[in-house]
Structure 1
Amino acid sequence: MSTFFARSLLRERSSVLAHRSVVSNRRTLMTLKDVKYTAHAEARGQGRNGQVKSDDDCGLELRLAMPKSLGGKGDGQNPEQLLAMGYAACFLSALQMVSGQMGRKEAAMNAVIRTQVHIGQPKEMEGFGLRVDIQVEGIQDDELIQAAHKLCPYSRMMKNGAEILVTKT
Protein backbone atom coordinates (compact mmCIF):
# COMPACT_ATOMS: atom_id res chain seq x y z
CA MET A 1 0.00 0.00 0.00
CA SER A 2 1.44 3.37 -0.97
CA THR A 3 2.06 6.04 1.66
CA PHE A 4 -0.27 8.42 -0.20
CA PHE A 5 -3.09 5.85 -0.28
CA ALA A 6 -2.61 5.02 3.42
CA ARG A 7 -2.74 8.72 4.39
CA SER A 8 -5.87 9.24 2.27
CA LEU A 9 -7.51 6.24 3.89
CA LEU A 10 -6.64 7.54 7.37
CA ARG A 11 -8.02 11.01 6.53
CA GLU A 12 -11.22 9.48 5.19
CA ARG A 13 -11.59 7.24 8.25
CA SER A 14 -10.95 10.20 10.58
CA SER A 15 -13.53 12.22 8.69
CA VAL A 16 -16.11 9.42 8.99
CA LEU A 17 -15.38 9.03 12.71
CA ALA A 18 -15.65 12.78 13.25
CA HIS A 19 -18.94 12.80 11.35
CA ARG A 20 -20.29 9.91 13.45
CA SER A 21 -19.31 11.81 16.58
CA VAL A 22 -21.20 14.90 15.45
CA VAL A 23 -24.26 12.93 14.40
CA SER A 24 -24.39 10.97 17.65
CA ASN A 25 -24.43 14.23 19.65
CA ARG A 26 -27.35 15.71 17.73
CA ARG A 27 -30.71 16.10 19.38
CA THR A 28 -33.86 15.27 17.58
CA LEU A 29 -36.08 18.18 16.69
CA MET A 30 -39.79 18.11 17.37
CA THR A 31 -41.74 19.54 14.45
CA LEU A 32 -45.50 19.88 14.07
CA LYS A 33 -47.51 18.25 11.31
CA ASP A 34 -50.88 19.54 12.56
CA VAL A 35 -51.33 22.77 14.54
CA LYS A 36 -54.27 22.60 17.01
CA TYR A 37 -53.95 26.01 18.67
CA THR A 38 -51.75 29.06 18.35
CA ALA A 39 -51.15 31.52 21.19
CA HIS A 40 -50.07 35.03 20.29
CA ALA A 41 -47.94 37.31 22.43
CA GLU A 42 -46.29 40.67 22.00
CA ALA A 43 -43.47 42.24 23.99
CA ARG A 44 -42.77 46.00 24.02
CA GLY A 45 -40.67 48.42 25.97
CA GLN A 46 -37.41 47.39 27.56
CA GLY A 47 -37.58 43.60 27.37
CA ARG A 48 -37.43 42.32 30.93
CA ASN A 49 -38.55 45.77 32.10
CA GLY A 50 -41.27 46.19 29.50
CA GLN A 51 -44.75 44.90 28.85
CA VAL A 52 -46.16 41.68 27.41
CA LYS A 53 -49.65 40.99 26.24
CA SER A 54 -51.75 38.34 24.57
CA ASP A 55 -55.07 39.19 22.97
CA ASP A 56 -56.15 35.54 22.62
CA ASP A 57 -59.43 34.50 24.23
CA CYS A 58 -59.64 36.46 27.51
CA GLY A 59 -56.29 38.14 26.97
CA LEU A 60 -53.54 38.83 29.43
CA GLU A 61 -51.38 41.89 29.91
CA LEU A 62 -48.46 42.12 32.33
CA ARG A 63 -45.81 44.62 33.28
CA LEU A 64 -42.42 42.92 33.44
CA ALA A 65 -39.64 43.74 35.85
CA MET A 66 -36.18 42.33 36.35
CA PRO A 67 -36.07 40.18 39.52
CA LYS A 68 -34.16 41.58 42.49
CA SER A 69 -31.70 38.69 42.31
CA LEU A 70 -30.74 39.85 38.79
CA GLY A 71 -30.32 43.48 39.87
CA GLY A 72 -33.85 44.74 39.26
CA LYS A 73 -36.54 46.14 41.51
CA GLY A 74 -38.64 42.97 41.37
CA ASP A 75 -41.84 45.00 41.09
CA GLY A 76 -43.40 43.07 38.22
CA GLN A 77 -43.53 39.64 36.63
CA ASN A 78 -40.69 38.05 34.68
CA PRO A 79 -40.44 35.52 31.82
CA GLU A 80 -39.26 32.72 34.12
CA GLN A 81 -42.42 33.06 36.23
CA LEU A 82 -44.56 32.83 33.11
CA LEU A 83 -42.69 29.72 31.93
CA ALA A 84 -42.96 28.11 35.38
CA MET A 85 -46.73 28.71 35.49
CA GLY A 86 -47.28 27.42 31.96
CA TYR A 87 -45.13 24.34 32.56
CA ALA A 88 -46.92 23.49 35.83
CA ALA A 89 -50.36 23.76 34.20
CA CYS A 90 -49.32 21.75 31.15
CA PHE A 91 -47.69 19.00 33.21
CA LEU A 92 -50.79 18.71 35.41
CA SER A 93 -52.98 18.38 32.30
CA ALA A 94 -50.68 15.68 30.91
CA LEU A 95 -50.74 13.86 34.26
CA GLN A 96 -54.54 13.93 34.35
CA MET A 97 -54.75 12.75 30.75
CA VAL A 98 -52.42 9.78 31.17
CA SER A 99 -54.02 8.75 34.45
CA GLY A 100 -57.38 8.62 32.65
CA GLN A 101 -55.91 6.67 29.74
CA MET A 102 -54.36 4.18 32.16
CA GLY A 103 -57.62 3.68 34.04
CA ARG A 104 -56.39 5.51 37.15
CA LYS A 105 -58.18 8.84 36.76
CA GLU A 106 -58.73 9.22 40.51
CA ALA A 107 -54.96 9.11 41.09
CA ALA A 108 -54.47 12.58 39.60
CA MET A 109 -57.62 14.30 40.88
CA ASN A 110 -55.84 15.99 43.80
CA ALA A 111 -52.38 16.28 42.29
CA VAL A 112 -50.45 19.53 42.58
CA ILE A 113 -47.52 20.41 40.33
CA ARG A 114 -44.87 22.85 41.47
CA THR A 115 -42.22 24.09 39.08
CA GLN A 116 -39.15 26.23 39.48
CA VAL A 117 -37.44 27.77 36.49
CA HIS A 118 -33.84 28.69 37.28
CA ILE A 119 -31.85 31.09 35.11
CA GLY A 120 -28.08 31.19 35.29
CA GLN A 121 -24.86 30.67 33.43
CA PRO A 122 -24.50 27.21 31.89
CA LYS A 123 -21.31 25.20 32.35
CA GLU A 124 -21.08 24.31 28.65
CA MET A 125 -21.44 27.71 26.96
CA GLU A 126 -21.55 31.48 27.35
CA GLY A 127 -24.65 33.50 28.17
CA PHE A 128 -27.67 32.37 30.15
CA GLY A 129 -29.46 29.05 30.37
CA LEU A 130 -32.45 27.54 32.11
CA ARG A 131 -33.06 24.58 34.38
CA VAL A 132 -36.52 23.40 35.36
CA ASP A 133 -37.38 21.49 38.54
CA ILE A 134 -40.78 19.79 38.77
CA GLN A 135 -42.32 18.41 41.97
CA VAL A 136 -45.43 16.25 41.81
CA GLU A 137 -47.50 16.27 44.99
CA GLY A 138 -50.27 13.81 45.73
CA ILE A 139 -49.14 10.98 43.45
CA GLN A 140 -46.73 8.21 44.38
CA ASP A 141 -47.10 6.30 41.09
CA ASP A 142 -43.80 6.73 39.18
CA GLU A 143 -45.31 5.17 36.05
CA LEU A 144 -47.96 7.91 35.83
CA ILE A 145 -45.43 10.65 36.47
CA GLN A 146 -43.03 9.36 33.78
CA ALA A 147 -45.92 8.93 31.31
CA ALA A 148 -46.98 12.54 31.96
CA HIS A 149 -43.40 13.72 31.47
CA LYS A 150 -43.28 11.90 28.10
CA LEU A 151 -46.62 13.40 27.01
CA CYS A 152 -46.28 17.00 28.26
CA PRO A 153 -45.44 19.35 25.34
CA TYR A 154 -43.24 21.50 27.58
CA SER A 155 -41.22 18.46 28.68
CA ARG A 156 -40.98 17.28 25.08
CA MET A 157 -39.77 20.71 23.95
CA MET A 158 -37.13 20.80 26.67
CA LYS A 159 -35.93 17.29 25.81
CA ASN A 160 -36.21 17.29 22.02
CA GLY A 161 -36.04 20.95 21.11
CA ALA A 162 -38.69 22.75 19.12
CA GLU A 163 -38.86 24.27 15.71
CA ILE A 164 -38.23 28.00 16.10
CA LEU A 165 -38.70 30.34 13.18
CA VAL A 166 -37.41 33.90 13.56
CA THR A 167 -38.53 36.34 10.86
CA LYS A 168 -38.72 40.08 10.42
CA THR A 169 -41.85 41.95 9.40
Structure 2
Amino acid sequence: MSDVLFTSHATAKGGRDGHVKSDDGIIDLNLVNPAGGSKEKGTNPEQLFAAGYAACYDGALNLKASNRNKEIDSTITADVSFLKDQSDNGFKVGVTLNVEIKGVSQSEAEELAEEAHEFCPYSKATRGNIDVNLNVKAV
Protein backbone atom coordinates (compact mmCIF):
# COMPACT_ATOMS: atom_id res chain seq x y z
CA MET A 1 0.00 0.00 0.00
CA SER A 2 1.18 3.56 -0.65
CA ASP A 3 1.86 6.09 2.10
CA VAL A 4 -1.36 6.27 4.14
CA LEU A 5 -2.54 9.84 4.74
CA PHE A 6 -5.54 8.85 6.86
CA THR A 7 -7.94 5.97 7.34
CA SER A 8 -11.67 6.22 7.93
CA HIS A 9 -13.63 3.56 9.78
CA ALA A 10 -17.28 2.53 9.62
CA THR A 11 -19.01 -0.61 10.82
CA ALA A 12 -22.12 -2.17 9.31
CA LYS A 13 -24.34 -4.73 10.97
CA GLY A 14 -27.45 -6.35 9.53
CA GLY A 15 -26.69 -5.80 5.85
CA ARG A 16 -29.09 -3.75 3.74
CA ASP A 17 -31.68 -3.67 6.52
CA GLY A 18 -29.24 -2.96 9.32
CA HIS A 19 -27.21 -0.09 10.68
CA VAL A 20 -23.97 1.69 9.82
CA LYS A 21 -21.86 3.80 12.16
CA SER A 22 -18.52 5.57 11.84
CA ASP A 23 -16.01 5.22 14.65
CA ASP A 24 -16.47 8.91 15.58
CA GLY A 25 -20.28 8.65 15.58
CA ILE A 26 -20.79 11.31 12.90
CA ILE A 27 -22.34 8.69 10.66
CA ASP A 28 -24.92 6.73 12.65
CA LEU A 29 -27.63 5.63 10.27
CA ASN A 30 -30.29 2.98 9.84
CA LEU A 31 -30.13 1.14 6.53
CA VAL A 32 -33.28 0.35 4.58
CA ASN A 33 -33.39 -1.63 1.36
CA PRO A 34 -35.38 0.54 -1.09
CA ALA A 35 -36.10 -2.53 -3.23
CA GLY A 36 -37.60 -4.32 -0.23
CA GLY A 37 -40.73 -2.17 -0.01
CA SER A 38 -40.13 -1.13 3.59
CA LYS A 39 -41.86 1.97 4.94
CA GLU A 40 -38.99 2.54 7.41
CA LYS A 41 -36.79 5.64 7.09
CA GLY A 42 -33.09 5.18 6.43
CA THR A 43 -30.32 5.34 3.90
CA ASN A 44 -28.74 2.64 1.74
CA PRO A 45 -25.23 1.75 0.57
CA GLU A 46 -25.80 3.30 -2.85
CA GLN A 47 -26.84 6.64 -1.32
CA LEU A 48 -23.74 6.66 0.88
CA PHE A 49 -21.53 5.77 -2.09
CA ALA A 50 -23.17 8.53 -4.17
CA ALA A 51 -22.41 11.12 -1.49
CA GLY A 52 -18.78 10.04 -1.20
CA TYR A 53 -18.20 9.83 -4.95
CA ALA A 54 -19.81 13.23 -5.62
CA ALA A 55 -17.69 14.93 -2.95
CA CYS A 56 -14.44 13.25 -4.04
CA TYR A 57 -15.05 13.98 -7.73
CA ASP A 58 -15.92 17.63 -7.03
CA GLY A 59 -12.65 18.01 -5.14
CA ALA A 60 -10.71 16.54 -8.07
CA LEU A 61 -12.57 18.77 -10.53
CA ASN A 62 -11.83 21.92 -8.57
CA LEU A 63 -8.15 20.97 -8.24
CA LYS A 64 -7.86 20.42 -11.99
CA ALA A 65 -9.58 23.76 -12.68
CA SER A 66 -7.26 25.50 -10.23
CA ASN A 67 -4.24 23.95 -11.92
CA ARG A 68 -5.45 25.58 -15.15
CA ASN A 69 -6.07 28.93 -13.40
CA LYS A 70 -9.80 28.56 -14.06
CA GLU A 71 -12.21 29.93 -11.51
CA ILE A 72 -15.27 27.68 -11.52
CA ASP A 73 -18.35 26.96 -9.47
CA SER A 74 -19.33 23.31 -9.72
CA THR A 75 -22.10 21.01 -8.57
CA ILE A 76 -21.84 17.24 -8.83
CA THR A 77 -24.80 14.91 -8.45
CA ALA A 78 -23.90 11.23 -8.43
CA ASP A 79 -26.69 8.88 -9.48
CA VAL A 80 -25.79 5.41 -8.22
CA SER A 81 -28.07 2.70 -9.54
CA PHE A 82 -28.52 -0.78 -8.12
CA LEU A 83 -28.73 -3.03 -11.17
CA LYS A 84 -29.48 -6.64 -12.02
CA ASP A 85 -26.28 -8.28 -13.30
CA GLN A 86 -27.22 -10.39 -16.32
CA SER A 87 -23.85 -12.19 -16.31
CA ASP A 88 -24.40 -14.04 -13.02
CA ASN A 89 -28.01 -13.27 -11.99
CA GLY A 90 -26.61 -11.19 -9.12
CA PHE A 91 -26.45 -7.44 -8.72
CA LYS A 92 -24.07 -4.59 -9.54
CA VAL A 93 -23.95 -0.82 -9.39
CA GLY A 94 -23.60 1.80 -12.11
CA VAL A 95 -22.89 5.50 -11.77
CA THR A 96 -23.77 8.64 -13.68
CA LEU A 97 -21.92 11.75 -12.56
CA ASN A 98 -23.96 14.82 -13.44
CA VAL A 99 -21.37 17.59 -13.63
CA GLU A 100 -22.47 21.24 -13.77
CA ILE A 101 -19.71 23.83 -14.14
CA LYS A 102 -20.06 27.61 -14.17
CA GLY A 103 -17.23 29.77 -15.49
CA VAL A 104 -16.07 27.80 -18.54
CA SER A 105 -17.29 26.86 -22.03
CA GLN A 106 -18.90 23.49 -22.76
CA SER A 107 -15.70 22.16 -24.32
CA GLU A 108 -13.60 23.34 -21.34
CA ALA A 109 -16.14 21.78 -18.97
CA GLU A 110 -15.86 18.45 -20.79
CA GLU A 111 -12.04 18.57 -20.72
CA LEU A 112 -11.98 19.39 -17.00
CA ALA A 113 -14.54 16.66 -16.27
CA GLU A 114 -12.42 14.04 -18.08
CA GLU A 115 -9.25 15.19 -16.30
CA ALA A 116 -11.03 14.98 -12.95
CA HIS A 117 -12.33 11.51 -13.83
CA GLU A 118 -8.76 10.33 -14.52
CA PHE A 119 -7.53 11.84 -11.23
CA CYS A 120 -10.36 11.24 -8.73
CA PRO A 121 -9.61 8.40 -6.27
CA TYR A 122 -13.18 7.08 -6.51
CA SER A 123 -12.96 7.04 -10.31
CA LYS A 124 -9.64 5.20 -10.09
CA ALA A 125 -11.15 2.67 -7.68
CA THR A 126 -14.12 1.95 -9.93
CA ARG A 127 -12.32 2.05 -13.30
CA GLY A 128 -12.82 -1.23 -15.11
CA ASN A 129 -15.16 -2.49 -12.36
CA ILE A 130 -18.38 -0.56 -12.90
CA ASP A 131 -19.85 1.63 -15.61
CA VAL A 132 -19.39 5.34 -14.86
CA ASN A 133 -20.94 7.85 -17.25
CA LEU A 134 -20.16 11.57 -17.24
CA ASN A 135 -23.02 13.94 -18.02
CA VAL A 136 -21.27 17.32 -18.31
CA LYS A 137 -22.98 20.68 -18.68
CA ALA A 138 -21.49 24.17 -18.66
CA VAL A 139 -24.06 26.43 -17.00
Shorter-chain TM-score range: 0.7 to 0.9
> How many equivalent pairs are there?
124
Residue 113 of structure 2: aligned partner: 145
Alpha-carbon spacing, 1:119–1:147, altered in 2? closer, same or farther (3 Å): same
Structure 1 residue 74 displacement after superposition: 5.0
Q: Secondary structure at the match of 1:121?
A: strand
8 A Cα contact 1:66 1:73, kept in partner: no
Q: Which runs of 5+ in 2 are unaligned?
A: 130-139
8 A Cα contact 1:66 1:74, kept in partner: no
Structure 1 residue 125 displacement after superposition: 2.5
Residue 9 of structure 1: aligned partner: none
Q: Secondary structure at the match of 1:33?
A: coil
The structure having more radius of gyration, on CA atoms, is: 1
Q: 1:96 aligns with which of 41, 45, 62?
A: 62
Scaled by the length of structure 2, what TM-score is found?
0.81
Q: How large is the RMSD of aligned CA atoms in angstroms?
A: 1.7
Structure having the larger proportion of residues in strand: 2
Residue 60 of structure 1: aligned partner: 27
Structure 1 residue 65 displacement after superposition: 1.0
Residue 125 of structure 1: aligned partner: 88
Q: Which runs of 5+ in 1 are unaligned?
A: 1-31, 162-169
8 A Cα contact 1:112 1:138, kept in partner: yes
Structure 1 residue 75 displacement after superposition: 1.6
Q: Secondary structure at the match of 1:39?
A: coil
* Counterparts of 2:4 and 2:128, CA distance in 1: 18
Residue 43 of structure 2: aligned partner: 77
Matched AA of 1:131: G
Scaled by the length of structure 1, what TM-score is found?
0.67
Residue 125 of structure 2: aligned partner: 157
Matched AA of 2:54: A
8 A Cα contact 1:98 1:147, kept in partner: yes
8 A Cα contact 1:50 1:65, kept in partner: yes
Structure 1 residue 129 displacement after superposition: 0.4
Alpha-carbon spacing, 1:38–1:150, altered in 2? closer, same or farther (3 Å): same
Structure 1 residue 73 displacement after superposition: 2.6
Following TM superposition, the consecutive aligned residue runs of length 4 or more in structure 1 with deviations greater than 6 angstroms are none
